[in-house]
Structure 1
């Protein structure tokens, strides 16, 4: 799993296989590119950071 941290302090979890890229855009913002839940296409959104979560470890 990957945990995306949003600039507003919120977060979301996504399956790792849906993550395609994390990069900085021309403005220096951290951007994630991920696959939509239905697999139809990809979209990009701004993030503040991310964590890769390991199975069997409890994050709290």
Structure 2
């Protein structure tokens, strides 16, 4: 019985290791996607947008 229990435990550990390694790959690819998204710059000036929204003065 002990050998069967050890075998069962070993199989469970191997499955966990495979799952963890595949989840690390997925998270690293999504984090690189996020960093690429942050590096993308929009060609607007945020200060002008704020003034336009909250000011009653006509835009320059």
Normalising by structure 1, report the TM-score. 0.22
Higher strand share: 1
Higher helix share: 2
Q: Over alpha carbons, which structure has the higher Rg?
A: 2
Q: Relative CO higher for 1 or 2, CA cutoff 8 Å, sep ≥ 6? A: 1
Normalising by structure 2, report the TM-score. 0.22
